[in-house]
Amino acid sequence: MIPNREEYESMMAARHTPAVHNKLKEGKVAVAGLGGLGSNISVMLAQAGVGKLLLVDFDVVELSNLNRQHYDLTHLGMLKTDALKKQIEKINPFIETETGTLKVTEENVMTVFNDYPIVCEAFDNPQYKAMLVNALLAQGGQTIVAASGMAGFDSANNIKTRQRFKNLYVCGDFKTPVQEGSGLMAPRVAVCAAHQANMVLRLLLNIEKA
Amino acid sequence: MIVNGKEIVLQKESSIMEFLEKEGYDPTKVAVEKNGIIVPKIKFETEMLSDIDKMEIVCFVGGG
């Protein structure tokens, strides 16, 4: 039995308190990259009831994604934007989910993310991470929650959230890249994604401290 | 000058690009703030550093 909007809303207000629920409901958050970080961040933000999400990725779901990304066998070959939007609609159909199936470049950063005051950087490639962060910071006015260092199976306790610039938070262990013997695995990727999602909730609740 | 909260002495006048390379940073994987202001990548070669500057360097590693 699928609940109606009113039932869902009252459950969320009861769980999160009305004040928190209403603030999160007004939130607009973009997620750039829908891999291990971005797919998990998006699901958590949907579960938290963040009112509007923008999901951005150009890629399709592949078998090699299933060890850590929030997709299953039925999603293979689908666009990640579509696969994630479908899942989110099944978790919380009462939030708005916009998709951007495109490759983010220095040229289109402004138009793609313009309407979103908070952007999660969830790319895999370090050059793209830096490109996105630099382009958004150059424009100004947005807060970025980025990630760096979550590969392998070193202690999960080493993954932190730090405010590095006024408008830039970085989550991760800040040092462990993907390399031979230290691939990306579900737990630490999810821990890092949860750090990012939690920082987003804090920002939406007007808490700037990391 | 202060880099990522640590005091260091600049050996000689250098651009941000020269400093990053000397310290082993890959300039394509960083975001740099000098005295609280973001420095766009195109200014790395021309923006000079002095001992009174405060710089924050965020370096990204791969994985996501």
Both tokens assigned to B45: 């070669």
Question: What are the chain B neighbours of A174 within 8 Å (beta carbons)?
Answer: 59, 61
- Mark yes or no for CB contact A175/B64 under 8 Å: no
Report the chain A residue with the minimal C-alpha distance to residue B30.
A130
Query: What's the mean per-residue pLDDT of chain A?
Result: 97
pLDDT in tens, A63-80: 999 999 999 999 999 999
Q: What's the rounded mean pLDDT across residues B10-33?
A: 95
Predicted pLDDT of residue A158: 98
In a domain, B27, yes or no: yes
In a domain, B54, yes or no: yes
Q: For A76-97, give the secondary structure using H, E and C.
A: CCCEHHHHHHHHHHHHCCCCEE
Predicted pLDDT of residue B11: 82
Question: What are the chain A neighbours of B44 within 8 Å (beta carbons)?
Answer: none
Question: For residue B17, what are the domain limits?
Answer: 2-59
- Mark yes or no for CB contact B30/A130 under 8 Å: yes
For residue A1, name the pLDDT band (cuts at 50, 70, 90): confident
Is the pLDDT assigned to residue A192 strictly greater than 90? yes
Q: In this structure, is the dihedral angle defined by the CA atoms of residues A126, A130, A136 and A140, taken in order, positive or negative? A: positive
In a domain, B55, yes or no: yes
pLDDT in tens, A2-23: 999 999 999 999 999 999 999 9
Record the pTM: 0.97
The answer to whether A138 faces chain B, any CB pair under 8 Å, is yes
Is the pLDDT assigned to residue A53 strictly greater than 90? yes
Q: What is the CATH number of the domain that holds B51?
A: 3.10.20.30
Q: Which 3 state secondary structure label does DSSP give A205?
A: coil
In a domain, B33, yes or no: yes
By DSSP bridging, strand A160-165 and strand A96-100 are unpaired
Is the pLDDT assigned to residue A84 strictly greater than 90? yes
Domains present along chain A, CATH in parentheses: 5-204 (3.40.50.720)
Q: How many domains does chain B have?
A: 1
In a domain, B64, yes or no: no
